[in-house]
Amino acid sequence: PPTYDSLIAKLIVSGRDRAEVIRRARRALSMFQVTGVRTTIPLHLRVLDAPAFHAGELSTAFLERLLAEPAR
């Protein structure tokens, strides 16, 4: 939108392995508090919860398939 910079913040997470990074990213995103504008945090949480993401089974169709599924 022209009224604000849509990049509000960046989240960088590190860990010993993929599972730890996913846990830390999920926790950090769950703690984010942004008011006044809609964010993509719910989408990122869905990605982090997706079994295919955990398994590293990603493709160019991953997001399209994820968005076709009902949100939990």
Closest CA to 41 of 50, 49, 51, 32: 32
- The answer to whether 50 touches 60, Cβ cutoff 8 Å, is no
pTM as predicted: 0.81
Per DSSP, helices labelled H in 1-72 are 18-31, 41-49, 51-55, 62-68
Spans of all domains in the chain: 18-68
Tens-binned pLDDT, residue by residue, of the chain (72 aa): 566 666 778 899 999 999 999 999 999 999 999 888 888 899 999 999 999 999 999 998 999 999 998 877
